[in-house]
Amino acid sequence: MVSELLRVMELEVKAGVTTGRLDEIAEAFILSHGAIPAFKGYYGYPASICASVNEEVVHGIPGPRILREGDIAGIDVGVKLDGYYSDAARTFPVGRVDKQSQRLIDATREALEEGIAKAVEGNHLGDISWAVQSTAEKRGLSVVREYVGHGIGRHLHEEPQVPNFGPPNQGPPLVEGMALAIEPMLNLGGREVEVLKDGWTVVTKDRKRSGHFEQTVFVGKAYPEIVTA
Ligand code: MF3
Ligand code: CO
């Protein structure tokens, strides 16, 4: 359901649409599929999706903001169905975007893919973290540290935290069946972030652009299973 919803979001993200409209569409989709929006009401969060535009990193609150050609829009969705949570995000270009923005989007997706590839039994959690960090930094991008991925299951956020940085070969051993939400946030400029006065929206300190991709993944014996692919 989460992957389907992100495909709907991909079709709806275009110049002229408001982030509030995207939220309405997502909420209607979730409810019509008999599920519950995971984010709405979570610590008072007011919407069903997060929509984080350009310099916004994560947790942007949908509203009257109109997407413009050349923007990049991070759309993060989560649902609860039959007692279990699933969480995923993608950063979409709005129409044609500049080279740097496309590079940011591609690198963030690649960093996530490299992290996911480590989600197999016998590895350590730190192998995921290091794969994400090294992929990002090889491409000259910085990695946000204040926000991290997480275990997921009967709650949206469970242990362990899944940092997007740190040394390999450390942290808890990965075991088949663990469910992890891996979610790198990469910046074109510095890695520092701050929270806007709305109490939610995380932005880069230098106001340069940020990308965010997330998948919910099961650790496997031989290979990872991407639940939200
Ligand atoms: N994927 C994000 C996270 O894991 C979305 C949470 S939004 C919130 O933090 F509103 F629920 F906090
Ligand atoms: Co998450």
Q: Which CATH number characterizes residue 204's domain?
A: 3.90.230.10
> In the prediction, which pLDDT does 122 show?
97
Ligand 2 ion: nearby residues, β-carbon < 5 Å: 87, 181
Q: Cα of 13 to ligand 2 centre, how many Å?
A: 21
Any ligand 1 atom below 6 A from CB of 59:
yes
Any ligand 1 atom below 6 A from CB of 23:
no
Could you count the other beta carbons within 10 Å of the beta carbon of residue 69? 12
Distance CA 204, CA 207 (A): 5
| Confidence grade of residue 77 (pLDDT, cut at 50, 70, 90) | very high
> In the prediction, which pLDDT does 158 show?
98
Q: What is the pLDDT of residues 124-136, one digit of tens each?
A: 999 999 999 999 9
Atom of ligand 1 at shortest range from CA of 214: 1
> In the prediction, which pLDDT does 175 show?
98
* Ligand 1 site-directed mutation target among 9, 30, 58, most atoms within 8 Å of CB: 58
Q: Cα of 149 to ligand 2 centre, how many Å?
A: 6
Q: Cα of 90 to ligand 2 centre, how many Å?
A: 11
At residue 130's C-alpha, the angle toward residues 127 and 134, to 5°, is 140
Quote the pTM value. 0.98
Helix count and strand count (H, E) for the chain: 4, 15
Host H or E run for residue 25: helix 19-32
Write out the residue range of the structural domain in which residue 132 sits. 2-226
> In the prediction, which pLDDT does 55 show?
98
| Confidence grade of residue 208 (pLDDT, cut at 50, 70, 90) | very high
Q: Ligand 1, atom 7: nearest CA belongs to which residue?
A: 39
| Average pLDDT of the residues of the chain | 98
- Looking at the structure of the chain, the number of domains it has is 1
> In the prediction, which pLDDT does 160 show?
98
> Percentage of residues in the chain with pLDDT exceeding 70?
100
* Ligand 1 site-directed mutation target among 76, 79, 86, most atoms within 8 Å of CB: 76
Q: What is the pLDDT of residues 20-49, one digit of tens each?
A: 999 999 999 999 999 999 999 999 999 999
pLDDT average, residue stretch 140-163: 98
